[in-house]
Copies of this chain bind each other. A is one copy, B any other.
Amino acid sequence: MPDIRYAQFCPLTRAVEILGERWTLLLLRELVPGPQRFSDLKARLPGVSSSVLAGRLARLEDKGLIAKRDLPAPAASTVYELAEAGRALRPVMMELIRWGMRFLGEPCPEERFEPRWMLMGLQTFARREATPTCSLRVVIAAKPEDFEIHISGGPEGTDVSVLPRPSQACVRTEEFDLLLLANGLLDVGEAIACGRIRVEGDARAVAAIPRLFDFRPPPDPESIHRGTPAQTSMERVIPPRNSRNKTQGATR
C-alpha cells in the first residue's frame, strides 16, 4: 500500500497526502467520540470494504493519527483510538463541518444518519458568548443503541460532550431533531406539545437550546471590501502575461 505522493514541499500537500483518500476522514470522525473496534467501524461506514478499511487503519497508525489497543479484561478485543496527531485534527474537522453545512440540504431517503455525527457539529456551532445555566442530558433514540450528548456550561461557553455530566434535565429526541432544535428549525414548545421530544426535569434547559448555537455561515470577506464581487478574485485580479515574453525577469 504505497503512500500517495504529490511531490510538493507544502504543508497542505502533506495533509491531503494523508487525509485525501477515500474514507480516511470519515473513519477518523468515527473515532472522535471514543475508541471503536474494526467491526464497529465497518458497520458504521456503509460501503467500505474490509481490505480498504484495514489498509487505512494501518496507514493511520503508522503516521501516528490513531493507535491500536487491546482491551484488557472481559471483552478481549482490539480497539482503535485517536492518537495525538489524530486528536489535533479537531480544528480541521470543525472547519470542514462549518463549510460542509452549506451543502447539507435535506436528507435523501437512502442516506444513513448516526446520532454521533451531530457531536462535532454541535461543538462547532456552539456560541462562545452563551453559557447554559442548566446542564442537560440529551438522549438520541437510535436503532442499535441510544446515543447521549451532554450540554452544559463550560469554561469556554457552551460545552457539548459525550462524557457524563451531572444534569438537571433530560430530553429524549429522535434522529436529528436535536439539530433542528439547535438551529431553531423546530420549535421547542411545539415539539413537546406534539410529543416529538420528551422532557424530564427543568424544561428551561431545553428551551435555552436555540440560544446556545449559531449556524449562520461567516460573511464572505470579498463582498464586504468591494462592490462588485463578480469582477474580483480572492487576492489578485488577473495575471495577463501571455506565455514567456521579454518581461520575464522584470521585478518591477
- A interface, CB within 8 angstroms of B: 4, 6-22, 25-26, 29, 31-36, 40, 46-47, 63, 67, 71, 74-75, 77, 79, 81-82, 84-104, 107-108, 110-114, 117, 119-121, 139, 144-146, 148, 161-163, 176, 217-218, 220-223, 229-230, 233-242, 244, 248-249, 251-252
Closest residue of B by beta carbon distance from A91: B95
A244 / chain B contacts, CB cutoff of 8 Å: 144
Most buried by B among A17, A31, A98, A249: A98
Closest residue of B by beta carbon distance from A231: B69
Closest residue of B by beta carbon distance from A252: B148
- Assembly CA distance A91 to B99 (angstroms): 9
29 contacts between A and B (CB under 8 A): A4-B22, A7-B47, A7-B110, A8-B26, A8-B46, A8-B113, A10-B121, A11-B96, A11-B98, A11-B99, A12-B26, A12-B29, A12-B93, A15-B100, A19-B96, A34-B235, A34-B239, A35-B238, A79-B239, A84-B220, A87-B221, A88-B220, A91-B98, A92-B99, A95-B95, A144-B248, A145-B241, A161-B235, A163-B236
- Assembly CA distance A239 to B147 (angstroms): 12
CB of A222 within 8 A of CB of B84, answer yes
- Assembly CA distance A191 to B12 (angstroms): 27
Contact check: which of B25, B36, B235, B238 meets A20 at CB < 8 Å? Answer: B25
Tell me how far the C-beta of A30 lies from the nearest C-beta in chain B, rounded to whole angstroms: 11
CB of B7 within 8 A of CB of A112, answer yes
4 tightest CB-CB pairs across the interface, nearest first? A15-B100, A34-B236, A11-B100, A9-B107
Given contacts A81-B233, A234-B34, A234-B82, contact A7 B242 (CB under 8 A): no
Tell me how far the C-beta of A163 lies from the nearest C-beta in chain B, rounded to whole angstroms: 6
CB of A235 within 8 A of CB of B162, answer yes
Most buried by B among A8, A47, A84, A101: A8
A22 / chain B contacts, CB cutoff of 8 Å: 4, 20
A148 / chain B contacts, CB cutoff of 8 Å: 251-252
Contact check: which of B71, B99, B235 meets A33 at CB < 8 Å? Answer: B235
Tell me how far the C-beta of A48 lies from the nearest C-beta in chain B, rounded to whole angstroms: 9
Closest residue of B by beta carbon distance from A33: B235
- Assembly CA distance A63 to B103 (angstroms): 9
